[in-house]
Structure 1
Amino acid sequence: MPQLTLYFLQASRSIRVAWLLEELGLDYEVKFADRENGAAPKWMKEEAGGLGKFPTLKDGDLLLYESGNITEYLCDTYDKEHRLLPAVGDPKRYAVLQWVHAAEATYALHALAILYCRWFQKDGDVTTTEEGLSGNVRKDMALLNSSLTRSQGKFLFGDEVTAADTMMEFVADFVFARGLGTKGQTWPRVEQYVMDCQAMPTWQKAQKKTGHKL
């Protein structure tokens, strides 16, 4: 059996880790579950532990949580050529990590604020609240669009995938799929970026193996 086990909840950030595992050429087992009443099933939470959020990665006896943390661990442990995340001390490492962390700390944070407003706001004008929150998403997407435009290739750092892309693809796709703060605005370079990421054989292999869909 593979040493690595990916606990994959549908639909979730778990595709990030699956794509990264494929980029690294690692063998891994997938323990997959659909949501039950909008949440992970009990067996998955009990087996994976932690906060019951996914992805969770098991490497031997080690359990790892949070997609950004898992990304750094996998790159530092298995990416011996530092192809996806440059070595400690290399200035490019921190440029890549800026996107790895922004994917959750900025992009997902702003997008999920809108989603949670739709789900949970009980009083007041949800449309007005969403409009107020949408400005952050539009600024985020504009920055991603301009960064991709400046890139010398299809991805954030040229024509080779990095950990920045394995983290950012999902959140960009999620924003578009749910219409979170877009308000009819388009960002052609970001839209092309998502298509380019999903055209990668490694992304497609991860999608096929896990059944990911938005």
Structure 2
Amino acid sequence: MAPQITLYFLQASRCIRSAWLLEELGLDYTVKFAPRENGAAPPVFKKEAGGLGKFPMLTDGDLTLAESGNIAEYLCDTYDTSRRFLPDLGNPKRYAVLQWVHASEATFALHGLAILYARWNQKSGNVEETEAGLSKNVIKDLEYFEAELTKSSGKFLFGDEVTAADISMHFSLVFILARELGTKGRKFERTEKYIKDCEATESYRKAVQKSGHQL
């Protein structure tokens, strides 16, 4: 019997979050994979996935879901019987975890993408000056993240076990550091160690192997 869960996976993207969480949850799933063409999703793949044609997209039976944070919340609420990855409604820790799930996109990725889009699209003016101004937010974000890591009792945000917070934050951090988006040559050693710890988990390695993920 074929798995009822299908993950539409675009190369070099935040889709790795969904694959990693599926592996952590021990769920059987099918990957429909596409490489980028000229830096974008192939039109046929976008049409097949539907919606805005953005990825990840996930189907579970007749249900279709978009947005990696939304997918994470659905998978945790539906399949995480231990509530390890995302605690129950009403539990204060749930909202502490969700803060990072949302911050991964609404703060960290947003500030990094502003710089990337300036590099790609600014037609006049001084791009370096624009990036220097935008980098203040990125530096502030990373300094905050490193300070928060010191409060954890373990190597991840909430101890020695991965949660939905780590699965969401990992990609945004890798994205910013790998492309040097506003980091001004600075090193963030705690964050780099955190990334290595995330990528050393068996579930992350399995997700990469199954999906073919590369950044």
- TM-score when scaled to structure 2? 0.98
Which one-letter code corresponds to 2:120 in the other structure?
A: W
Any idea what the Cα deviations from partners look like across 1:84-124, whole Å, max 9, x if unmatched?
Answer: 00000000000000000000000000000000000000100
Any idea what the Cα deviations from partners look like across 1:147-179, whole Å, max 9, x if unmatched?
Answer: 111111010000010000000000111111100
For residue 29 of structure 1, give the secondary structure of its aligned residue in structure 2. strand
Any idea what the Cα deviations from partners look like across 1:184-214, whole Å, max 9, x if unmatched?
Answer: 1111111100000000000000001111111
1:105: which partner in 2? 106
Aligned length: 214
How far off its partner does 1:39 sit? 1.0
2:129: which partner in 1? 128
Any idea what the Cα deviations from partners look like across 1:28-69, whole Å, max 9, x if unmatched?
Answer: 000000111111111211111111110000111111000000
In the aligned structure 2, how far is the partner of 1:57 from the partner of 1:183? 36
How far off its partner does 1:81 sit? 1.2
Q: Unmatched 5+ residue regions in structure 1? A: none
2:175: which partner in 1? 174
2:117: which partner in 1? 116
Which one-letter code corresponds to 2:65 in the other structure?
A: L
Kindly indicate whether the alpha-carbon contact (under 8 Å) linking 1:48 and 1:63 is maintained by their aligned counterparts in 2. no
Runs of 4 or more, structure 1, over 6 Å off, are none
2:76: which partner in 1? 75
Percentage of pairs with the same residue: 67
1:7: which partner in 2? 8
Structure 1 segment 1-214 matched on structure 2, within 5 A: 1-214=2-215
In the aligned structure 2, how far is the partner of 1:150 from the partner of 1:75? 24
CA RMSD after TM alignment: 0.6
Kindly indicate whether the alpha-carbon contact (under 8 Å) linking 1:115 and 1:180 is maintained by their aligned counterparts in 2. yes
In the aligned structure 1, how far is the partner of 2:44 from the partner of 2:154? 43
In the aligned structure 1, how far is the partner of 2:13 from the partner of 2:103? 17
Kindly indicate whether the alpha-carbon contact (under 8 Å) linking 1:110 and 1:133 is maintained by their aligned counterparts in 2. yes
For residue 150 of structure 1, give the secondary structure of its aligned residue in structure 2. coil
Q: Unmatched 5+ residue regions in structure 2? A: none
In the aligned structure 2, how far is the partner of 1:136 from the partner of 1:167? 19
